[in-house]
């Protein structure tokens, strides 16, 4: 129907003076945008299929291609925006729920960008990380508030199981299935080289990756895919996924077409069956049930591994976190509403949840008010984009951060937000063998190592400027932060002063 015609969002612009008809673009595009017209001896493109992933642009040997936003427009309307109109056409045609991928792209406030950091002047010297030790090692886990001594008066190590990281960064959960084997291998190898951890997500752990166990967090989600004894014992920590920032209150659905081969084996479900993660865990309808699962997992692994409970940042996140801190969890992971996803209903992704900066600030303060902040460590994600975001998150009160979108970007993701189509041209969010092999794990893991190493250098530089030479002195150190352009209420929740105060 003519009303269903949607003019493409992006146009492929080809400079025919540069194009040599080598057809690389045609071979590289899984969306079949490019084609060769033999009669005219020229390359053509179908803009309607373009997702703007830049694969063709990046590989064009003569730089003949670029993608531009179309200037085709509806009559301008601040209320009925182009996307609002188009989404109605699409739903009127399909009758279905709109799907999206990656984090919420809408124009909500980004509090990290409205917080500024401090530096030393005169009364307190800054420290040069190139000349003095600058420490970023963190321990995650519960801390005792009493000591014990042996008969000789020596201190006894009464710390429960913990994670030790040389820098406050981990790769957050992305399942095998939602991303490719090569993407997982890159993450696992990078985590090992960096001494940090990556997270299996809810899709189980491929047998090839058990050897990276000491750098792995194994996830137990509502679908319980791939969960069995060896899996729980393989990781350095176990994460119970209660929620995800991109889709709080919503489960997951990996279509049967993707449940093939190794993915079916790793998830322990038959080939071709849909992998459906229920919205709630059906054995957890309240906090006391969560406690039982935490202790079941601890018992199953002989109390040797810390348990992480991951929740989405929602309105009463502080009270929820406080309940979790009293329920035996060692670490609470909070995922902000900008966190990524392989697929989520658009309306959920774009309208549910709250910013991680506010969630973190209120959780940290609530746990301190209740005197239980030392019961747990706090890890935040969704979305951490840079080393300065990390420094701000730690100064607000986090122990560590989770990054996923940034890690995918390091692997080549161009944030075209089309993961749900399964045709990722960069070999990340796809299971098509010829696409998967485009991501070379030998290169991928090094790029991840580079990114995290670079961030760690920057963290040290920023800390040195503040006169802080160990990351624990930055944790919760909100005096190092000032807000710009924030109102009284926002400052109060963040627990920071306005710049100039």
Partner 1 sequence: MLKEGQIRIPSGCAISGIFSKSGKRITGDTIIKSISAMHDRSNGLGGGFAAYGIYPEYKDYYAFHIFYENTASKKECEDFLERHFDIINLSKIPTRKTRNITDEPLIWRYFVTPLPTKLNESQLDEKEFVARSVIKVNTKIQGAYIFSSGKNMGTFKAVGFPEDVGEFYMLSEYAGYAWTAHGRYPTNTPGWWGGAHPFSMLDYSVVHNGEISSYDANRRAIEMYGYKCTLLTDTEVITYIIDYLNRRIGLNFKEIAEIVAAPFWQTIERMPKEQKEKFTYLRNAFSSYLITGPFSILVGFEGGMMALNDRLKLRSMVVGEKDDMVYIASEECAMRIVEPNLDKVWAPQGGEPVIVTLNGGVEQCR
Closest alpha carbon to 45 in 19, 82, 74: 19
Tokens encoding 277: 């993660």
Q: Phi and psi dihedrals of 216, rounded to 5?
A: -125, 135
Please tell me whether residue 137 binds partner 1 under the rule CB under 8 A.
Answer: yes
Could you tell me how far CA 354 lies from the centroid of its own chain? 15
Please tell me whether residue 152 binds partner 1 under the rule CB under 8 A.
Answer: no
Residue 64 Cβ vs partner 1, minimum distance, rounded to whole Å: 52
Question: CB under 8 Å to 210, separation ≥6 — which residues?
Answer: 230, 234
Residue of 13, 42, 62, 125 that binds partner 1 (CB under 8 A): 125
d(CA 96, CA 92): 8
Please tell me whether residue 123 binds partner 1 under the rule CB under 8 A.
Answer: yes
Please tell me whether residue 157 binds partner 1 under the rule CB under 8 A.
Answer: yes
Window 313-372: residues binding partner 1 (CB under 8 A) = 368, 371
Residue 374 Cβ vs partner 1, minimum distance, rounded to whole Å: 7
For partner 1, the closer CB: 40 or 146: 146
For partner 1, the closer CB: 217 or 480: 480
Counting every residue written for the chain, the total comes to 501
Question: Could you tell me whether strands 169-171 and 163-165 are parallel, antiparallel, or unpaired per DSSP bridges?
Answer: unpaired
For partner 1, the closer CB: 187 or 462: 462
d(CA 398, CA 165): 14
Q: How many residues line the site for partner 1 (CB under 8 A)?
A: 40
Annotate each residue in 1-30 with x if it binds partner 1 (CB under 8 A) or - if it does not, as one string.
------------------------------
SS3 (DSSP) at 150: coil
Please tell me whether residue 270 binds partner 1 under the rule CB under 8 A.
Answer: no
For partner 1, the closer CB: 62 or 158: 158
Window 438-477: residues binding partner 1 (CB under 8 A) = 466-470, 472-477
For partner 1, the closer CB: 325 or 410: 325
Residue 324 Cβ vs partner 1, minimum distance, rounded to whole Å: 18
Closest alpha carbon to 311 in 172, 187, 424: 172
Question: CB under 8 Å to 361, separation ≥6 — which residues?
Answer: 396, 397, 493, 494, 495
- The reply to whether omega before 383 is within 30° of 0 (cis) is yes
Please tell me whether residue 162 binds partner 1 under the rule CB under 8 A.
Answer: yes
Question: CB under 8 Å to 240, separation ≥6 — which residues?
Answer: 219, 220, 221, 281, 290, 293, 294, 297, 307, 308, 309, 310, 329
Beta pairing partners, 253: 276
Please tell me whether residue 145 binds partner 1 under the rule CB under 8 A.
Answer: yes
Tokens encoding 308: 């992480």
Residue of 147, 229, 286, 500 that binds partner 1 (CB under 8 A): 147
Residue of 9, 46, 47, 135 that binds partner 1 (CB under 8 A): 135
Residue 275 Cβ vs partner 1, minimum distance, rounded to whole Å: 39
Distances (CA, A) of 464 to 124, 167, 429, 472: 11, 15, 38, 13
Please tell me whether residue 262 binds partner 1 under the rule CB under 8 A.
Answer: no
Annotate each residue in 171-210 with x if it binds partner 1 (CB under 8 A) or - if it does not, as one string.
----------------------------------------
Please tell me whether residue 396 binds partner 1 under the rule CB under 8 A.
Answer: no
CA R_g for the chain: 24
Please tell me whether residue 498 binds partner 1 under the rule CB under 8 A.
Answer: no
Residue of 3, 150, 155, 299 that binds partner 1 (CB under 8 A): 155
Tokens encoding 368: 């301190």
Residue 321 Cβ vs partner 1, minimum distance, rounded to whole Å: 15
For partner 1, the closer CB: 375 or 418: 375
Do residues 436 and 427 lie in contact, with contact meaning Cβ atoms separated by under 8 Å?
A: yes
Residue 3 Cβ vs partner 1, minimum distance, rounded to whole Å: 58
For partner 1, the closer CB: 61 or 133: 133
Residue of 146, 286, 299, 500 that binds partner 1 (CB under 8 A): 146
Residue of 66, 143, 326, 457 that binds partner 1 (CB under 8 A): 143
Q: What is the 3-state secondary structure (H, E, C) of 289-332?
A: HHHHHHHHHHHHCCCCCCEEEEEECCCCHHHHHHHHHCCCCCEE
Please tell me whether residue 132 binds partner 1 under the rule CB under 8 A.
Answer: yes
Number of Cβ atoms within 10 Å of the Cβ of 363? 29
For partner 1, the closer CB: 255 or 495: 495
d(CA 150, CA 144): 16
Residue of 443, 479, 484, 485 that binds partner 1 (CB under 8 A): 479
Beta pairing partners, 381: 335
Residue 329 Cβ vs partner 1, minimum distance, rounded to whole Å: 18
- The reply to whether omega before 227 is within 30° of 0 (cis) is no
Q: What is the DSSP letter of 209?
A: G
For partner 1, the closer CB: 267 or 373: 373
For partner 1, the closer CB: 2 or 371: 371
Question: CB under 8 Å to 147, separation ≥6 — which residues?
Answer: 155, 156, 158
Residue of 374, 434, 442, 492 that binds partner 1 (CB under 8 A): 374
Interacting residue ranges for partner 1, rule: CB under 8 A = 120, 123-125, 127, 132-133, 135, 137, 139, 143-147, 154-155, 157-159, 162, 368, 371, 373-374, 397, 466-470, 472-480
């Amino acid at each position: 129907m003519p009303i269903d015609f949607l003019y493409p969002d992006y146009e492929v612009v080809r400079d025919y003076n540069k194009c040599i008809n080598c057809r690389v673009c045609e071979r590289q595009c899984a969306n079949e945008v490019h084609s060769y017209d033999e009669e005219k001896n020229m390359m053509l493109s179908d803009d309607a299929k373009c997702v703007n992933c830049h694969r063709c642009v990046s590989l064009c040997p003569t730089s003949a291609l670029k993608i531009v936003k179309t200037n085709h427009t509806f009559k301008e309307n601040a209320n009925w925006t182009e996307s609002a109109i188009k989404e109605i056409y699409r739903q009127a045609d399909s009758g279905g729920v709109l799907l999206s991928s990656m984090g919420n792209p809408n124009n909500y406030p980004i509090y990290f960008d409205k917080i500024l950091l401090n530096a030393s002047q005169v009364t307190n010297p800054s420290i040069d990380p190139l000349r003095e030790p600058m420490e970023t090692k963190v321990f995650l886990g519960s801390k005792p508030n009493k000591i014990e001594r042996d008969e000789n008066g020596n201190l006894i190590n009464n710390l429960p199981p913990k994670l030790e990281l040389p820098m406050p960064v981990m790769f957050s959960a992305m399942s095998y299935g939602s991303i490719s084997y090569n993407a997982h291998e890159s993450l696992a190898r990078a985590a090992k080289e960096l001494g940090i951890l990556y997270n299996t997500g809810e899709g189980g752990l491929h047998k090839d990756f058990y050897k990276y166990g000491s750098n792995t967090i194994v996830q137990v989600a509502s679908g319980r895919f791939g969960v069995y004894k060896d899996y729980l014992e393989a990781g350095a920590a176990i994460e119970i996924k209660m929620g995800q920032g991109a889709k709080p209150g919503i489960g997951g659905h990996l279509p049967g077409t993707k449940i093939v081969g190794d993915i079916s084996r790793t998830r322990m479900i038959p080939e071709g069956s849909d992998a459906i993660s229920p919205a709630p865990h059906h054995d957890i309808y309240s906090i006391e049930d969560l406690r039982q699962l935490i202790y079941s997992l601890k018992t199953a692994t002989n109390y040797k591994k810390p348990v992480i409970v991951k929740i989405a940042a929602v309105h009463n996140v502080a009270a929820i976190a406080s309940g979790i801190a009293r329920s035996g969890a060692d670490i609470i992971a909070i995922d902000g509403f900008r966190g990524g996803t392989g697929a989520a209903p658009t309306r959920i992704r774009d309208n549910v949840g709250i910013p991680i900066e506010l969630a973190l600030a209120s959780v940290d303060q609530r746990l301190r008010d209740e005197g239980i902040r030392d019961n747990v460590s706090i890890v935040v994600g969704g979305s951490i984009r840079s080393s300065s975001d990390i420094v701000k998150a730690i100064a607000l009160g986090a122990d560590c951060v989770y990054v996923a979108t940034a890690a995918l970007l390091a692997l080549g993701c161009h944030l075209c937000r089309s993961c749900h189509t399964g045709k990722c041209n960069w070999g990340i969010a796809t299971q098509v063998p010829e696409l998967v092999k485009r991501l070379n794990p030998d290169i991928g893991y090094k790029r991840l190592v580079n990114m995290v190493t670079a961030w760690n250098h920057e963290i040290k530089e920023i800390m040195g400027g503040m006169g802080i030479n160990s990351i624990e002195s930055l944790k919760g150190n909100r005096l190092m932060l000032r807000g710009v352009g924030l109102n009284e209420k926002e400052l109060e929740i963040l627990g920071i002063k306005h710049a100039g105060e």
